[in-house]
Amino acid sequence: MKKYIRNLTISEVSFPHERYVLFKLTDPVAPLPPMLPGQFVEIRVEGSPTTFLRRPISINYIDREANLLWLLIAMVGDGTRTLGTLKPGDQLNLLFPLGNGFSPMQRAGENVLLVGGGVGVAPLLEYGKVLKEQGANPIFLLGARTAGDLLLLDHFQSISTVYLTTEDGSMGEQGFVTQHSILRAQHFDRISCCGPKPMMMSVARYARLTSTPCEVSLENMMACGLGACLCCVEKTVKGNVCACTEGPVFNIDDLTWNL
């Protein structure tokens, strides 16, 4: 897929959580290029003296009608905190779209469980929308520490059914996503997952035990997004590969995780 370097204009800024910023970006002169669910962008950070490399951010949602690209960013370091100070009208320089995304619908009406935790929920919003448009049945299972940590919940609910877990029991079922009763009550044709690695490994174990095809979106450090810097290398059954070019989405059967 062709890659672009473009300056996109921030149309809207919101803060769904004190640690997260949501940008809605537009290109005022051209349509946004083709992008796939699960791909990501690399953002150049201006104005941060300690930030020298671009920051990889998952594609959260694409509004083709309004020509808007949504990016949900966790403000965890100098670079991303600097991004959180930007205002509508400011510009972001993006290298995109990068990587390989989630698998498209395999058959009409299939039940696809989309499991997310933390900022890992971000790519699942666009993926769920696309699956729904293709004729599949996406089901979201989202986990967080508390109810206040659940992100963009109303947007997920506008697409399909959402099941929730929180560690403190403040919303949904108490516990972790792999403890939710829906996993025992319903059959799924496929699972896609993004979030902290321990969570993804737990989901992968469940998938392996139930013989359910499963793919995960890795959150390895990705400095260049083009396979040049080698800091995102992941060990697979086919050898070491760059997660930014061969992933970030992988079938769990291709990974060397001890499940």
Considering the domain architecture, whether residues 87 and 132 belong to the same structural domain is answered as no
Positions of the chain with pLDDT under 50: none
> 135 lies in a domain?
yes
Considering the domain architecture, whether residues 81 and 122 belong to the same structural domain is answered as no
Q: What is the pLDDT of residue 138?
A: 98
Considering the domain architecture, whether residues 118 and 215 belong to the same structural domain is answered as yes
Which residues, including other chains, have CB under 8 Å from residue 187's CB and lie 6 or more apart? 111
> 77 lies in a domain?
yes
Per residue, the 3-state secondary structure of 162-207, as one string, reads EEEEECCCCCCEECCHHHCCHHHHCCCCEEEEECCHHHHHHHHHHH
Q: Which of 221, 257, 216, 222 is nearest to 236 (CA)?
A: 257
| Domain total of the chain | 2
Considering the domain architecture, whether residues 197 and 122 belong to the same structural domain is answered as yes
> 233 lies in a domain?
no
The torsion angles phi and psi of 98, rounded to 5 degrees, stand at -120, 150
Largest CA distance in the chain: 52
Considering the domain architecture, whether residues 89 and 137 belong to the same structural domain is answered as no
Do residues 15 and 24 lie in contact, with contact meaning Cβ atoms separated by under 8 Å? no
Considering the domain architecture, whether residues 87 and 120 belong to the same structural domain is answered as no
pTM for the model stands at 0.96
Domain of 123, CATH number, reads 3.40.50.80
> 239 lies in a domain?
no
Read off the pLDDT of residues 53-84 as tens digits, 9 standing for 90 and up.
Answer: 899 999 999 999 999 999 999 999 999 999 99
Distance separating alpha carbons of residues 41 and 60, to the nearest angstrom: 10
> 116 lies in a domain?
yes
Domain that holds residue 177: 111-219
Domain of 49, CATH number, reads 2.40.30.10
> 247 lies in a domain?
no
Considering the domain architecture, whether residues 117 and 202 belong to the same structural domain is answered as yes
Considering the domain architecture, whether residues 87 and 134 belong to the same structural domain is answered as no
Reply yes or no: is the peptide bond before residue 28 cis, omega within 30 of 0: no
> 65 lies in a domain?
yes
Considering the domain architecture, whether residues 153 and 90 belong to the same structural domain is answered as no
Choose one of 52, 69, 98: the last residue of a domain. 98
> 38 lies in a domain?
yes
Whats the size of the chain, residue-wise? Answer: 259
Q: What is the pLDDT of residue 51?
A: 85
